[in-house]
A and B are shown apart, each in its own frame.
Chain A
Amino acid sequence: MIGLLITLVLFPLVGWSVARRSWGEAFLFGAGLVGTILFLAGVVHVPLVPAFALVLFASIGGAVWSYRTRKTSSQAPHPTSHSPLPTIAMAIPLIAITFIAAVTPLNDFDGRAFWVLKAKGIAHERAIDGPFFQGATLDPRNQYPILIPIDGAVIFALGHDLDDRQLRWLYVGLLAALALLVRERISNLVSPASGAWCAALLVCIPQFAVATEGGALSAYNDIAVAAFAAGAFFELMDAHRDLDTAQPRGREIRFGLWLVFLILTKSEGLPFALVFLLIGAFVFRKRIATPAIQAAVAAVALLVWRARIPAGDEENFVRMLPTIPEKLDHLRSALAAFPRYMVAFSSWGAFWVAVIIASAFAIRVNRRAATIAIAVIASMLVVYCGVYVATEWVVTDLIAVTANRLLMHLAAPALFLLALGAQWWTRTKSM
């Protein structure tokens, strides 16, 4: 239970210390910040324990300050939805998932083989480049980014226990936080009812709720990527909505931080961040420089860290890019991959079919917003197809183990399109 307590208190506390946020966003922001700060501290050889103590004290101070300013703030709170039906529809799967996670031991592949193992290594050695990462023990994907393992290590270290049962809450927490973020942000951007239903849909998607590989009951990092991508996406959409009005200070910094979290969470995060920067340039214009610098710092830190540790058996896609012309025979499989998995009922139900249909209506409701969402999804699908073409693996094997998980990353823009598309009928009705 110590793991539950730490997860529920620590990450939201750190998230709240930076700014006033909903629990979901605070949790995600806190998880991202703790991982990022400790990673950067590790890269510049600041011992992790004092660095964490500093983060903790600053967070407590920041949260208290944030609470006080909230009392005196005149800013109107965000509209929240009180739709009981979607709320119940969201709560039931989350409660079931929480119960299952509390009782059932972790039983996935990547979570145990790579991610939680890294968390154990960091917690045990209190370092991100100690013997664990120098080949003293088996770490098959040594150079995978380690933001979430650092969060896990914090939980292990505070709980004085390297048992993975302490981390079960982190992964359930990420899904719950993503659902709450979707609910809040789509409520603000589209309508409260849409937000509530989108959150309910999200937690009912089999790939998120019950998939053995990648779901909330596993210890994969794909929900974290989906959550940080959602953070960046909604920041982008907020900026787009307020394009003609004065933008709140710090929005581009928050956008940049979500990109940093993406880069430090999984290898797919870097191309994802580049896509966001590219699309974000049309929204933030000159102010895109700030998130670009933030993302560059994270990318450089990641490269510096990687240069210090031996590579595992992970693929280096940058080095494989020039080999794409020789592997064009992969193209057919790569192009067919996502359409085939999108209609896989056991993983996605009718979700992606609905998203594609909704996109057509969403464009009629808000052409620019829908275009941004579609651009994010399409760009990432192109990037992932490129990876499939370039891979040294048997391409069909790689697709089989990754396609569903890569689609998870695009949940937020997809749900936004659903919500926006549904508005078409409401608007037509009101005309």
Chain B
Amino acid sequence: MKNRSLIPRVLCALLFLSLAATTLPRLVARTREALTLLPMPYESRRERQMGAWYASVQSLRKTLPKKEPVALVLGIRDTEAAIFANYYLYPIRTRLFAGRNGYRDAAPDPTRPKTIVAVTSEKVEKTSYEVLRDRDLRAGHRVVAAPELSEPATSFVLPIAASLDGAAPETFVIEATLLNQSVAQNGPALSNALMERLPRTNEVRITFWPKGESRTLRIGAGDTVSYYDLVYQLFGVMESGWVQVESRLPLRAAFYFVNRGRADATRLPNVERFATRIPPSPLHRDAKLFLLNPGDSIAVTTVGSETIPIMPHAIVTKPISSIPAVSGNVYAFVTTRELNARTDFYWPEP
């Protein structure tokens, strides 16, 4: 009988031990952790738990507008980080956007927050759409792997230059490659004496019109400079226009109008003179005539029966349904979009 009364006690003790054996070490470990956290201020304890990520949330919270919603733009594997950023930022209201594309596709939505917070599992940071776009473009690959360089020239115009986004995946950039071949060239065209007199570094002045902002590049002898997004990388803007290139030495270059989202590219001509005679070509949708006046005075242009004055350094677009006859001191070209969204360019005959 005594044995029988012992049985429930022994079983209870065994059950209790089976629980305590698992719980006790974990309780002890967590108590020790708590003891190490105890001397710290509460926010520092969170930093200790969550690392630099929480520190970035904490500093961001101070800089964000309290009553304005913010967009949390996150990477593919950063959903969890965004959920916790949302938690720690509250009562600041947040809206989640899956990647930059999620944000740009919401462009027609008037309630889309203007303030952008980029969230990763390493940190959260206030940023701009342009910066996120540049980060994505830099991390990706250029569309034109082997650019076809032009003949050497010292002054020319790129009739179109842009850094623009449409709805995902349309991402328009200018991929550029500039080569200073002055010393590296071993051909018979340049004598040794002439080569010695040539400066080793070429200075290339690039002006983005119609704003007229310029940047000067110094390209070492034999060096190649390349850009995945010429307009944004040089001028820090997401705009469209045209570019004037002036080089101290003959420059070989290649410029491509690229849609990164669709991986298609069109080589841009290096324009050195006016041209208006565009050969007849099939037009698809969104067909536009571009009239570029690279000169310093007003160019009076005739398009069909219409007379259009083009201001100095201006580029004017006009929707068209057929290729018109154009005359005047301008450079004229046409763009049209195929059904597969590829942009076709029709350049004038020289």
List the A side residues contacting B8 at CB < 8 Å: 422, 425-426
- B34 located at the interface, meaning its Cβ lies under 8 Å from any Cβ of chain A in the complex: yes
Kindly state the interface size class of chain A when it binds its partner: 35 or more
A346 touches B86 (CB 8 A): no
Within 8 A of B (CB), among A102-145: 102-105, 107, 109, 112-113, 116-117, 120-121, 124, 131, 136-138, 140
A346 to B27 alpha-carbon distance, docked (Å): 13
Binds A, one of B91-99, B236-244, B250-258: B91-99
Give the interface SS of chain A, mostly helix, strand, loop or mixed: helix
- B200 located at the interface, meaning its Cβ lies under 8 Å from any Cβ of chain A in the complex: no
Within 8 A of A (CB), among B1-36: 1, 4-5, 7-8, 11-12, 14-16, 18-23, 26-27, 30-31, 33-35
Interchain CB contact (< 8 A) of A351 among B7, B19, B21, B49: B19
B27 touches A205 (CB 8 A): no
A204 touches B69 (CB 8 A): no
Give chain A's interface residues, CB within 8 Å of chain B.
89, 93, 96-97, 99-100, 102-105, 107, 109, 112-113, 116-117, 120-121, 124, 131, 136-138, 140, 162-163, 165, 197, 200-201, 204-206, 209-210, 217, 345-347, 349-351, 354, 418, 422, 425-426, 428-429
A105 touches B45 (CB 8 A): yes
Closest A residue to B40 by CB, please name it.
A103
A105 touches B21 (CB 8 A): no
List the B side residues contacting A97 at CB < 8 Å: 27
- B332 located at the interface, meaning its Cβ lies under 8 Å from any Cβ of chain A in the complex: no
Closest B residue to A107 by CB, please name it.
B49
B30 touches A104 (CB 8 A): yes
A204 touches B16 (CB 8 A): yes
| Given A137-B95, A422-B12, A349 contacting B83 (CB threshold 8 A) | no
List the A side residues contacting B96 at CB < 8 Å: 138
A204 touches B20 (CB 8 A): yes
List the A side residues contacting B82 at CB < 8 Å: 138
List the B side residues contacting A131 at CB < 8 Å: 93
List the B side residues contacting A136 at CB < 8 Å: 69, 93
B12 touches A104 (CB 8 A): no
List the A side residues contacting B5 at CB < 8 Å: 425-426, 429
Interface residues on chain B, number (Cβ under 8 Å): 44
Interchain CB contact (< 8 A) of B33 among A104, A121, A197: A104
A120 touches B15 (CB 8 A): no
Interchain CB contact (< 8 A) of A204 among B19, B33, B45: B19
Nearest-CB distance from A373 to chain B (Å)? 17
Closest B residue to A117 by CB, please name it.
B87
Per-residue 0/1 for B149-182: is the Cβ within 8 Å of any A Cβ (1 yes, 0 no)?
Answer: 0000000000000000000000000000000000
Interchain CB contact (< 8 A) of B21 among A89, A99, A349: A349
A137 touches B86 (CB 8 A): yes
A112 touches B37 (CB 8 A): no
A326 to B80 alpha-carbon distance, docked (Å): 31
A425 touches B30 (CB 8 A): no
Interchain CB contact (< 8 A) of A422 among B11, B23, B49: B11
Give chain B's interface residues, CB within 8 Å of chain A.
1, 4-5, 7-8, 11-12, 14-16, 18-23, 26-27, 30-31, 33-35, 37-38, 42, 45-46, 49-50, 69, 72, 80, 82-84, 86-87, 90-91, 93-96
| Given A124-B91, A350-B14, A137 contacting B22 (CB threshold 8 A) | no
B37 touches A121 (CB 8 A): no
Nearest-CB distance from A195 to chain B (Å)? 13
Chosen A-B contacts, 5 in total, with CB atoms closer than 8 Å, are: A100-B33, A105-B42, A116-B87, A205-B19, A209-B27
| Given A124-B91, A138-B86, A209-B23, A103 contacting B45 (CB threshold 8 A) | yes
A354 to B31 alpha-carbon distance, docked (Å): 29
List the B side residues contacting A418 at CB < 8 Å: 15
Taking A103-B34, A117-B87 as known contacts, 5 extra A-B pairs with beta carbons closer than 8 A to each other, sorted by chain A number, are A100-B34, A104-B30, A137-B86, A163-B42, A429-B5
List the A side residues contacting B87 at CB < 8 Å: 112-113, 116-117
List the A side residues contacting B45 at CB < 8 Å: 103-105
Closest B residue to A120 by CB, please name it.
B90
A109 to B12 alpha-carbon distance, docked (Å): 34
A9 to B82 alpha-carbon distance, docked (Å): 36
List the B side residues contacting A209 at CB < 8 Å: 23, 26-27
Nearest-CB distance from A161 to chain B (Å)? 11
List the A side residues contacting B22 at CB < 8 Å: 206, 345-347, 349
| Given A117-B86, A137-B95, A138-B83, A105 contacting B23 (CB threshold 8 A) | no
